[in-house]
Structure 1
């Protein structure tokens, strides 16, 4: 009996028809293992994972393999995106034992959940020095049956080793100028000057490191930091990792040149990169950065938005290549012949030159990933735009990649922050409206009466999985961004509810943070990880949200908790800056204050001198008051375009109590005014946008 048919996870549902007798992660599964005195096979993956699909087809759909599993094991299937706590605990064990990790993750456990044998993908037949999956199963079953004491000894040692990895706050005190300078030096050493980015292949988009570089440049003027950010963003934007037809980034590049991506598209990557490119535009005015920020936002709205108004998790790497085979990248790649079939000979030749399509190909079987190679040739922009439209229309006739349509709270928090800022920066209210709609769904569906979050939902129904630290922190960050953009205090209130839970349920001694709540399910180890990976760690995301909330409200407990959490950045930043990029960004905000900006304006319309007879783009505003004052809007835009690291903004009519920073902020001589405070000291208010820009140190 396969027990996955009733679950909500799209990944688990992909396995609901397997002949394997799967269990979802549950106490019942481990009780069954005790009853049968059988080991547990734990298989962890996610919907967009290419090699997860491969192993499923080769092994979990195979009747003979399934029969062996069903006879000798209790098989548990986990969606790592629904249960990041389970994934984190056992991935730590896999990496400690083997020196590497990845998905699918294959772990064998005792009925008490203690791991004793590890791996990732196993082929159906021995190859490249790897045993077959059947050989692994037979070896584990033999050890369980004949060498039980040895298995118990190994499992016990692993659990003891994991327990000894408990983290303290990571270092005595806050990160300062020296640690951030050392982090920049470390990044400079790892920088790939030829191709942008850091390290070699495979190469992941370093969105959080880019944010640190931009903030460091804004605070210190370090040109080398800005140049690394500019060059990396341009290389990625011109590479195959960016979808040159429809926007959006793939998860990573298999090569160091950003040419051939691993084609899955994740919400979190696109949200982080959308925001990073918007911030790059803010710092430099780059039209390329603006185009990528808008293109990525459009991708999220077009291809990841759910009917309920939130954002789906991912698009698969694989799709039908037209012959019934599921092939990675089939939806995205082109051959010269396919270009000719769509465009005709003349335009196909032009498209091949523009997008780097060659007869040899950059991918498999003579196909090419579209990119924008450097060339001195000048192309007709209007003609290229027409070619893009034709190719995109033809591509949309191909079988599309599958979509994992579950809504993950943390990743939607990242998307809300990105869309709100992009909408405000580029005066596109529709993006802000989309961010508000997604935030509204999180409140209605994910948040219960006690401000506790569900991690996932699907079709407007909350899942049974409790939120982890990154959910609370990233959703709070999204809400705080919305508060600053829209001027609506309700988003600040919701952020406060979530961050109070962080203080109550996720905080330990001396600045330590845990990934799971005090009252969450107890695993063999309570997970905690301060290092940023594909997304900000819950630890660093919480530090950032706590710091911003303290700046908005003046709350000392939240400021103290943020500072305590940043001790780990002091320890790790100089040694491993690529893996604490978000933490370094928060440290930059702390060193800069962060700045607290309040902009107040007059209420009313043109008839009383407070309005704009020509209208203007509005990105929110709860009472419409200050939005009706063109002088206030100009000051607000100046504040929004400030590069001051981590600056927070409150915008509203004078006398409003909608946001704490607006309290006791009157007009100046009857005119809209901006107030800037930093490190418990406030400057004199100004009515002049140029003076405000100077106060904020625009790059």
Structure 2
């Protein structure tokens, strides 16, 4: 890939940033701000008082660049981003650098969570030019939005084998003046090259079971048998891949797949990537042992991890898995739920200008709170020595062994030690609340909240806590309010400010969440809305190929396609999941065709790199091995529901319906027609392809039917 500037390539940094928006700002606060002050995004508003004349992403910004005959400097970040904070403090708040930017460039700021389509487009460009990517993403563009040079974090002056940002700015400005024609030509070449890759015109092929088997082999090759997880540092949770491996084990009894998942989950929940005091997981681990995290907490990570831990609990009956899932859901309700419904997107990595300060401890701090004996024991158990710190002699609490092993070492029963450690953690949590908290990005993102609705429904199913179902319904009501009135979703909400960008993942993730909510709560309103969202996907995002576009509007003249599952599932994968499940519930071939269209063009890629498509391969599984349907008709006592609550049944779509409710959803006719309560008793129908067993009316009979149909492998005792 050509590079227009002779500036050394630099390695990208993966990171995260945040400040909540102000309400009722005084007039002088607004008058001294740049154009970002009117934006909804907390991340953009964080930069509203930089001396840089930032503009939000818009046609107007590029028209300004054309009118001024200036190149564009595009900076993309997000509100939880440590290195985004660093670059802001070092460069964007520097008056000299800001003055140079304002004179020679038109500067555009983008929140990648608000505009993932823009981020994806230019991330592909930077990766094609440099071989690296990350955030903050820094890209130089022509006035017609074509990239010609980019990177990630740059310090203000050269250091750490990185060129200085000010030097880069001067070089770009000089090339723009002295070699304009050459630079514009090269920008067009770069744009055409990576845009062709974004179109993803793969040859359609038949799907086969080899695709599913390849996932286990790929996972085994990358599995870290010493510490769990995949690959080396930095190490990410890979929740989607773990979920797929559990489903594969349930169908094929592949013990290797199960052992990879259980070992990884154990090591993660012992590590510092898990917040042992407050619950919830940080974004990733900076080391192979999971000890020292990158400290931001993202809603999507936690929403995707909760179901995996609950599934592992149902398979093993290991209460530590249950406790981690429950603590993570409770963290989300306590710290992330918004009063008006929905969940905030992230907690910052930084507080008081230091990364992870809120979460780190010194032995002296702990002993002062817990006393000598219990404090020293806590430090020993949780590895608080100060030796793993980056600075300041403090540590991130983490465990080096199981509760059983620790209890044996201290000659206590597991229950005794668990109660004492819970009390110690509670005391430390109270003390921690007196510290300056990390900022919360209060942006409510529809796609991430779709994941969270599914996680909450799963929590209610497995744990029976009504709070989780209530929170899921509350979030769903907020997110669907606009759609019910206008037929369109909003991508994000910050109080009364909205972002109307139309994104595939919003529709497909929320559609899946509402379908989960319907199957658990029995309210056909959620089914109807899920169907409407699926139909809207086909209306808004269809293009030249069967694969759906990432957004309804092109970016830089290109309709972005992103079939790969990364930190979050791709919109294509989630759309395939949604259509496949709707096909299994309705029998309508239209859904089957749409689901198949999201995988057949990707068969070659899925075969070569299955780890890039764990959520997409779930669509393959649903199509090749359609799940059974279990319809439970009963009142709110949910006697039959209690039978399936403690079973791992990934290949069954379970629909609970109140015996007194009527069903308005015509597409459910094939599934629910003739399904009635027998003699006024709770009644269960187990069906495959709409052919059903004889119904049963007691919990014992349902348990026998499930065990006979799926085996007692639904749990390991």
Q: Same fold (TM over 0.5)?
A: yes
Question: In 2, are the aligned partners of 1:655 and 1:665 still within 8 Å (CA)?
Answer: no
* Shift of residue 522, structure 1, vs aligned partner: 4.6
What does residue 539 of structure 1 align with?
A: 572
What does residue 566 of structure 1 align with?
A: 599
Q: 1:112 to 1:218 in 2, by over 3 A?
A: same
2:696 aligned with 1:686 = yes
Question: In 2, are the aligned partners of 1:586 and 1:646 still within 8 Å (CA)?
Answer: no
2:682 aligned with 1:653 = no
* Shift of residue 598, structure 1, vs aligned partner: 1.3
Measured in 2, the distance between the counterparts of 1:684 and 1:253 equals: 51
Measured in 1, the distance between the counterparts of 2:511 and 2:217 equals: 32
- How many pairs are equivalent? 663
- What are the residue-to-residue correspondences of 1:64-463 with 2, within 5 Å? 64-168=96-200, 170-320=202-352, 326-374=353-401, 376-378=405-407, 380-444=417-481, 446-447=482-483, 449-459=485-495, 461-463=496-498
What does residue 607 of structure 1 align with?
A: none
* Shift of residue 354, structure 1, vs aligned partner: 1.6
Measured in 2, the distance between the counterparts of 1:491 and 1:467 equals: 21
What does residue 673 of structure 2 align with?
A: 663
Measured in 1, the distance between the counterparts of 2:661 and 2:526 equals: 19
Measured in 2, the distance between the counterparts of 1:490 and 1:669 equals: 27
Measured in 2, the distance between the counterparts of 1:493 and 1:169 equals: 33
What does residue 480 of structure 1 align with?
A: 515
Question: In 1, are the aligned partners of 2:146 and 2:187 still within 8 Å (CA)?
Answer: yes
SS at match of 1:597: strand
* Shift of residue 86, structure 1, vs aligned partner: 0.7
Question: In 2, are the aligned partners of 1:196 and 1:235 still within 8 Å (CA)?
Answer: yes
SS at match of 1:415: helix
Question: In 2, are the aligned partners of 1:39 and 1:144 still within 8 Å (CA)?
Answer: yes
Question: In 1, are the aligned partners of 2:554 and 2:560 still within 8 Å (CA)?
Answer: no
Measured in 2, the distance between the counterparts of 1:311 and 1:23 equals: 28
What does residue 469 of structure 1 align with?
A: 504
Question: In 2, are the aligned partners of 1:280 and 1:289 still within 8 Å (CA)?
Answer: yes
- What are the residue-to-residue correspondences of 1:584-595 with 2, within 5 Å? 584-595=617-628
Measured in 2, the distance between the counterparts of 1:676 and 1:491 equals: 22
Measured in 2, the distance between the counterparts of 1:248 and 1:150 equals: 51
Question: In 2, are the aligned partners of 1:266 and 1:313 still within 8 Å (CA)?
Answer: yes
Deviations along 1:437-459, one digit per CA (max 9) or x if unpaired, are 01111012x52633211100011
Measured in 2, the distance between the counterparts of 1:547 and 1:648 equals: 15
Measured in 2, the distance between the counterparts of 1:144 and 1:33 equals: 13
Measured in 2, the distance between the counterparts of 1:291 and 1:13 equals: 37
Question: In 2, are the aligned partners of 1:655 and 1:666 still within 8 Å (CA)?
Answer: no
* Shift of residue 393, structure 1, vs aligned partner: 0.6
TM-score normalised per structure 1: 0.91
Deviations along 1:265-295, one digit per CA (max 9) or x if unpaired, are 0000010011211122222222111111101
* Shift of residue 684, structure 1, vs aligned partner: 3.4
Residue of 646, 650, 655 corresponding to 1:644: 650
* Shift of residue 166, structure 1, vs aligned partner: 4.6
RMSD of equivalent CA atoms: 1.9
What does residue 613 of structure 2 align with?
A: 580
Q: 1:513 to 1:67 in 2, by over 3 A?
A: same
* Shift of residue 671, structure 1, vs aligned partner: 3.8
* Shift of residue 578, structure 1, vs aligned partner: 2.1
SS at match of 2:38: coil
2:502 aligned with 1:496 = no
Question: In 2, are the aligned partners of 1:159 and 1:524 still within 8 Å (CA)?
Answer: no
Question: In 1, are the aligned partners of 2:520 and 2:654 still within 8 Å (CA)?
Answer: no
* Shift of residue 587, structure 1, vs aligned partner: 2.3
Measured in 1, the distance between the counterparts of 2:131 and 2:62 equals: 28
SS at match of 1:364: coil
Q: Which moved more, 1:139-148 or 1:669-678?
A: 669-678
SS at match of 2:706: helix
* Shift of residue 398, structure 1, vs aligned partner: 0.5
SS at match of 1:113: coil
SS at match of 1:647: strand
Deviations along 1:487-516, one digit per CA (max 9) or x if unpaired, are 000001111111111111213355312101
Q: 1:115 to 1:334 in 2, by over 3 A?
A: same
Measured in 2, the distance between the counterparts of 1:302 and 1:479 equals: 23
Measured in 1, the distance between the counterparts of 2:648 and 2:542 equals: 32
Question: In 2, are the aligned partners of 1:169 and 1:510 still within 8 Å (CA)?
Answer: yes
2:540 aligned with 1:505 = yes
Q: 1:523 to 1:449 in 2, by over 3 A?
A: farther
SS at match of 1:675: strand
Measured in 2, the distance between the counterparts of 1:473 and 1:29 equals: 31
* Shift of residue 572, structure 1, vs aligned partner: 2.7
Question: In 2, are the aligned partners of 1:239 and 1:257 still within 8 Å (CA)?
Answer: yes
TM-score normalised per structure 2: 0.89
Measured in 1, the distance between the counterparts of 2:661 and 2:478 equals: 31
What does residue 29 of structure 1 align with?
A: 61
What does residue 674 of structure 1 align with?
A: 684
Deviations along 1:18-48, one digit per CA (max 9) or x if unpaired, are 0001101111111111111000000000000
Q: Which moved more, 1:661-670 or 1:153-162?
A: 661-670
* Shift of residue 564, structure 1, vs aligned partner: 1.6
Q: 1:629 to 1:388 in 2, by over 3 A?
A: closer
Q: 1:237 to 1:162 in 2, by over 3 A?
A: same
Measured in 2, the distance between the counterparts of 1:628 and 1:351 equals: 43
- What are the residue-to-residue correspondences of 1:541-556 with 2, within 5 Å? 541-556=574-589
Measured in 1, the distance between the counterparts of 2:213 and 2:189 equals: 40
Runs of 4+ displaced beyond 6 Å: none
Measured in 1, the distance between the counterparts of 2:170 and 2:561 equals: 34
Q: Which moved more, 1:487-496 or 1:381-390?
A: 381-390
SS at match of 1:515: coil
Question: In 2, are the aligned partners of 1:245 and 1:392 still within 8 Å (CA)?
Answer: yes
* Shift of residue 682, structure 1, vs aligned partner: 3.3
Q: 1:67 to 1:217 in 2, by over 3 A?
A: same
* Shift of residue 568, structure 1, vs aligned partner: 4.6
* Shift of residue 629, structure 1, vs aligned partner: 6.3
